[in-house]
Amino acid sequence: MTLTDGRRPGDRAVAADHVSLRRNNLSVVLRHVRDSGPKSRARIAADTGLNKATVSSLVAELVERGLLREGSADSTRALGRPGQLVELDGSGVCGVGAEINVDYLAVTALDLAGDTVLERRVPVDAAHLDPGTTLDRLAVLIRDALVAVALRSGQLAGVTLAVPGLVRGDTGGLSLAPNLGWGELEVAAEMRSRLGDPSYPLLIDNEANLAALAAFSVLRKDTPLQDLVLLTGAVGVGGGVVSNGQLVRGGRGYSGEVGHMPVAPPGRICGCGRTGCWETVVGLSALLHKATDKDDPVRDPSLDVEQRLAGITERAENGDARTLSALKDVGAWLGIGGAILVNILNPDVLVLGGYFAALGPWLKEPLEQAIRDRVIAPDGGGCRVVRSELGFAAAVRGGAQIALDQVFVDPTMIGRTESGVAQ
């Protein structure tokens, strides 16, 4: 039997298999150059096991799509004509991360090489705004990022929303964000309607998960790393866990809610409505409650969070007794919960993010001491404590990376272009 287009019944399956195989091979080559740096076509073939002719064809297509570019000559080649290195390009391919937090909104656009195209954060008292107003304001920031990408003549890989709560990534919904007072909200769908039902992928994830991925990406450049726990502190406290190089999400995607570990004595009511949660003694609200009065400017949510923390830092550096006492208390409780996590997960690295990183000079030492004293494995199980270099930009950078990761999985989502520049 012959089909109406002249092909035999099995031809379509063969064509589909060929497309799938080529897509996979494009991904293999692109990821190899990303992970290993500039390589000659011959070196890529040797490293990946693909034949040289196939690699040449794949590289040519990736250059056409604006994902690779020709680099310098291969100086490592001892004999014969030196080969041309190819390197990651992607300057015209961008991903956007956008974050909703209790007291700020943020957005970042990164290109495929990880360079910043736009970065913006604005103070917003989201806990006292209705969800619709907050999403309206975030949509404005996302549009600003899209304009910046367009001005670069770039192509958008996608947008990822970071939210501090229990996220259903498969459906784009939010089950609960206690510190925002949000529950059962289809965040991705709400944002799609505000952005005019866009054709690009729009994803949603927990902000601590995205911050952990961003921290992992930075740290593994300098040292072999497979297991990491990130603690991010703001009004709430979240955790992201990377195990064997992969983010741990749990059975339904709700892992990482370490701020609600019941380790504190009954007292202040947590945003989740319970008492005894870890974040009631180590969250930023707990620190400010201990260190400041109600009318203190550092409690003003209209100020950027880094400005507020700069005020706390200045007081600590000047030896203010109340500030130092509050930091000592928070550090002790941070050590108690941190040691529990190290005992359970045995990470290579425990990363302090958010406000924990900003006030690291006073919080890192008691955490390290608790790990030495409370972790049963010798030498704290080999865990070291580091401060994140990304500050409050970690979640949005992780979101932008998640959007860009789709390109490395399927490079064909980026259209062929003239002169290798994405349009």
| Tens digit of each residue's pLDDT (9 = 90 or more) over 99-146 | 999 989 999 999 998 899 999 999 999 989 999 999 999 999 999 999
3-state secondary structure of 11: helix
Q: Model-level pTM? A: 0.87
Give pLDDT, residue 220. 87
**8 Å CB contact between 236 and 164:** yes
Give how far the C-alpha of residue 227 lies from the chain's centroid of Cα atoms, to the nearest Å. Answer: 16
Average pLDDT on 149-171 reads 90
Average pLDDT on 391-417 reads 91
Q: Average pLDDT, whole number, for the chain?
A: 90
Q: What are phi and psi of 387, to 5 degrees?
A: -95, 135
Extract the tokens encoding 6: 């002249």
Range with lowest mean pLDDT among 81-90, 115-124, 370-379? 81-90
Query: Model confidence over 218-269: pLDDT tens digits?
Result: 998 888 889 999 999 888 899 999 999 999 998 888 888 999 999 988 878 9
Confidence of residue 92 (pLDDT cuts 50, 70, 90): confident
Q: Of 389, 388, 407, which Cα lies nearest the Cα of 34? A: 407
Average pLDDT on 159-165 reads 95
Query: Model confidence over 260-292: pLDDT tens digits?
Result: 999 988 878 988 889 999 999 999 999 999 999
Q: Indicate if the pLDDT at residue 90 is higher than 90.
A: no
Give pLDDT, residue 265. 87
Percent of the chain with pLDDT over 90: 75
Q: Indicate if the pLDDT at residue 310 is higher than 70.
A: yes
Concatenated DSSP letters for 292-345?
S-TT-GGG-TTS-HHHHHHHHHHHHHTT-HHHHHHHHHHHHHHHHHHHHHHHHH
Query: Model confidence over 8-22: pLDDT tens digits?
Result: 655 666 666 888 999
Average pLDDT on 324-333 reads 96
Q: Which residue has the higher pLDDT, 92 or 33?
A: 33
Cα 58 to Cα 56: distance, rounded to the nearest angstrom: 6
Average pLDDT on 27-47 reads 94
Give pLDDT, residue 338. 96
Cα 394 to Cα 205: distance, rounded to the nearest angstrom: 13
Q: Which residue has the higher pLDDT, 78 or 178?
A: 178
Q: Of 66, 109, 61, 74, which Cα lies nearest the Cα of 91? A: 66
Q: Indicate if the pLDDT at residue 1 is higher than 50.
A: no
Average pLDDT on 147-156 reads 89
DSSP 199: S
